[in-house]
């Protein structure tokens, strides 16, 4: 399935699933659902920008495969990743006859994937979900691996569940309708894979993206490897995917959800993590410069938004869930492609790196 290219398989025993990647795959949603033995009613969750573009293709495909479905459209944007929206969707599902035999189809970017995936994880104590990611961010990262959840005022993703999808269908044609800013924020996660696992990706990005399907495939393979090794982030392996996220999440929340796109905040978080890596584990200056050049090439920010107080960001870091007993487990790189977690990073290191994002020192 998928333009002749075999899917990438996320190997998780009896919860293994395929990530189908290629142009025009939304039209195969119904068929792929049937191949995964999903038989009940489908509840499609999408957002107000994605639904007008792609909902009908998904509905047609499900109808052709003989499914009955309902559609649930939430406002586009990070603000929809809330417990209030979880309740709204659950009430709509109950009203529309979605039951324990039904499945969820998450059509949209990472916000929809996380939100609808979480609803699928808890509705009737868990029903299947198929992820249909429509942003680069969601195709290379969030739709794969089963992390679902919503935000609290206190921080990002503080309420959630692991709930692996039955299938992921990444239709790369959907990426053509992304704004440049929305596309580029997804590149931040590609840069992350380059930093922690495969520096060749950075070389490819520097040449400009020639095959988007190929790029998505490379990233999904990397992510699938981490997820297979450490599905529930217990061994520390999967935690390496959080490179740039400790400070990035804090910046995103402190700026106010929706001010910076997720990937933009992660780009800033990676610059701070690179600075801390240089100080603590000797990350070479020329490799930090390479990371910065890539971030700039894809028009991602290198400075905190004006008016954002570094101290507010720092306070946010301390409600981050990666703290244990007052120590932070922080992902650093000693070389591009060689990431690991350390408990050696101090509050002062964090403060200096965040202030540096304001002053231009980081």
Q: Which residues bind ligand NAD (CB under 6 A)?
A: 47, 49-50, 53, 76-78, 81, 108-112, 114, 134-135, 137-138, 141-142, 145, 147, 156-157, 174, 177-178, 182, 185, 261-263
Secondary structure class of 71 (helix, strand, coil): strand
**Cα distance between residue 301 and residue 295, in whole Å:** 7
Cβ 310 to ligand NAD, closest distance in Å? 22
Of 141-149, 169-177, 323-331, 340-348: span binding ligand GLY (CB under 6 A):
141-149
CB burial string 190-206: b at 16+ within 10 A, e below? bbbbbbbbbbebbebbe
Question: Which among ligand NAD, ligand GLY, none contacts residue 78 (Cβ within 5 to 8 A by kind)?
Answer: ligand NAD
Secondary structure class of 345 (helix, strand, coil): coil
- For residues 158 and 312, which CB has a smaller minimum distance to ligand NAD in the complex? 158
141 binds ligand GLY (CB under 6 A): yes
**Cα distance between residue 85 and residue 110, in whole Å:** 15
Instruction: Give which of 103, 111, 135 is closest to 30, Cα–Cα.
Output: 103
Question: Which among ligand GLY, ligand NAD, none contacts residue 171 (Cβ within 5 to 8 A by kind)?
Answer: none
- For residues 22 and 110, which CB has a smaller minimum distance to ligand NAD in the complex? 110
Cβ 255 to ligand GLY, closest distance in Å? 20
- For residues 22 and 263, which CB has a smaller minimum distance to ligand GLY in the complex? 263
Q: Number of residues interacting with ligand GLY: please give it, by CB under 6 A.
A: 5
238 binds ligand GLY (CB under 6 A): yes
163 binds ligand GLY (CB under 6 A): no
Q: Which long-range contacts (CB under 8 A, 24 or more apart) does 193-196 make?
A: 193/140, 193/218, 193/219, 193/222, 193/223, 194/294, 194/336, 194/337, 195/243, 195/244, 195/270, 195/274, 195/291, 195/333, 195/336, 195/337, 195/339, 196/240, 196/241, 196/243, 196/331, 196/333, 196/337, 196/339
Question: Which among ligand GLY, ligand NAD, none contacts residue 301 (Cβ within 5 to 8 A by kind)?
Answer: none
Residue 296 CA to chain centroid, in angstroms? 21
Of 140-148, 210-218, 246-254, 286-294: span binding ligand GLY (CB under 6 A):
140-148
- For residues 41 and 166, which CB has a smaller minimum distance to ligand NAD in the complex? 166
CB 93 within 8 A of CB 123: yes
Pairing of strands 167-171, 129-133: parallel
147 binds ligand GLY (CB under 6 A): yes
Cβ 103 to ligand NAD, closest distance in Å? 19
DSSP alpha helix (H) spans, the chain: 29-35, 51-64, 83-95, 110-122, 136-137, 180-196, 200-206, 212-229, 245-255, 262-281, 285-297, 310-317, 347-359
Among 26, 196, 241, 267, binds ligand GLY (CB under 6 A): 241
290 binds ligand GLY (CB under 6 A): no
Question: Which among ligand NAD, ligand GLY, none contacts residue 238 (Cβ within 5 to 8 A by kind)?
Answer: ligand GLY
Token duo for residue 307: 């008016």
Residue nearest to ligand GLY (CB): 241
Task: At 182, give phi and psi (nearest 5°).
Answer: -65, -35
CB count, 10 Å around CB of 101? Answer: 12
Question: Which among ligand GLY, ligand NAD, none contacts residue 108 (Cβ within 5 to 8 A by kind)?
Answer: ligand NAD
Token duo for residue 184: 């580029």
145 binds ligand GLY (CB under 6 A): yes
- For residues 124 and 162, which CB has a smaller minimum distance to ligand GLY in the complex? 162
Question: Which among ligand GLY, ligand NAD, none contacts residue 112 (Cβ within 5 to 8 A by kind)?
Answer: ligand NAD
Residues lying near ligand GLY in the complex (CB under 6 A) are found at: 141, 145, 147, 238, 241
């Amino acid at each position: 399935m998928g333009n002749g290219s075999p899917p990438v398989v996320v190997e998780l025993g009896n919860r293994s699933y395929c990530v189908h990647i290629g142009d025009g795959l939304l039209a195969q949603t119904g068929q792929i659902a049937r191949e995964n033995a999903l038989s009940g009613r489908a509840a499609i969750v999408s957002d107000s920008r994605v639904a007008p573009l792609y909902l009908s293709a998904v509905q047609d495909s499900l109808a052709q495969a003989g499914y009955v479905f309902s559609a649930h459209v939430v406002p586009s944007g990070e603000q929809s990743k809330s417990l209030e929206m979880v309740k709204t969707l659950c009430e709509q599902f109950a009203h529309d006859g979605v039951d324990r035999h039904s499945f969820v189809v998450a059509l949209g970017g990472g916000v929809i994937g996380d939100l609808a995936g979480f609803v699928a994880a808890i509705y009737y104590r868990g029903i299947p979900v198929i992820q249909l990611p429509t942003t680069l961010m969601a195709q290379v990262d969030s739709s794969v691996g089963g992390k679902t959840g919503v935000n609290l005022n206190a921080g990002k993703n503080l309420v959630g569940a692991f709930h692996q999808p039955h299938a992921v269908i990444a239709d790369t044609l959907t990426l053509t309708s992304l704004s440049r800013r929305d596309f580029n924020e997804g590149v931040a996660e590609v840069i992350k894979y380059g930093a922690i696992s495969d520096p060749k990706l950075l070389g490819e990005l520097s040449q400009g993206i020639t095959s988007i399907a190929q790029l998505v495939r490379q990233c999904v393979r990397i992510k699938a490897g981490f997820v297979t090794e450490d599905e529930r982030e217990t061994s520390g392996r999967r935690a390496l995917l959080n490179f740039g996220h400790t400070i990035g999440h804090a910046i995103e929340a402190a700026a106010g959800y929706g001010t910076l796109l997720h990937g933009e905040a992660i780009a800033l978080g990676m610059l701070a993590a690179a600075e801390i890596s240089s100080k603590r584990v000797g990350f070479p200056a020329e490799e930090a410069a390479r990371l910065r050049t890539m971030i700039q090439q894809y028009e991602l920010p290198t400075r905190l938004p004006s008016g954002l107080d570094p101290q507010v960001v720092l306070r946010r870091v301390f409600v981050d869930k990666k703290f244990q007993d007052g120590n932070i487990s922080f992902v650093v790189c000693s070389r591009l492609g060689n990431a690991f977690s350390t408990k050696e990073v101090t509050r002062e290191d964090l403060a200096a790196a965040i202030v540096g994002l304001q002053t231009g020192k980081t």
